[in-house]
Amino acid sequence: MEISGLISAIIIGIVIGVLGRLVVPGRQHIGVIVTILVGIVAALLGTAIAAGLGVADTDGPDWIEWLIQIALAAVGIAALDRTVGRRH
């Protein structure tokens, strides 16, 4: 992976992570770095799922791919929040 691909993955991960965090109601007890990591993983998995469904490359914005990525990020953030929340 080139440095530009890594930087774009981090930026997309930030956006997806923040959007996923906004979808989850209430206050989350996970940090910013964890949110970014969840966003990066959700973006990669969401792209793979969208490609498998055949909706990854469309004319214009790939709204379905974004929705899949955000949903995965929200699920990941909620799951981690429940895990971390139990320790506190």
Mean pLDDT by 10 residues, the chain (88 residues): 74 88 86 88 88 81 86 92 72
> Which are the contacts of 85, defined by CB distance < 8 A and separation ≥ 6?
29
Number of Cβ within 10 Å of residue 2's Cβ equals 7
pTM: 0.82
- 8 A C-beta contact, residue 27 and residue 36: no
- How far apart (Å, rounded) are the C-alpha atoms in residues 60 and 31? 33
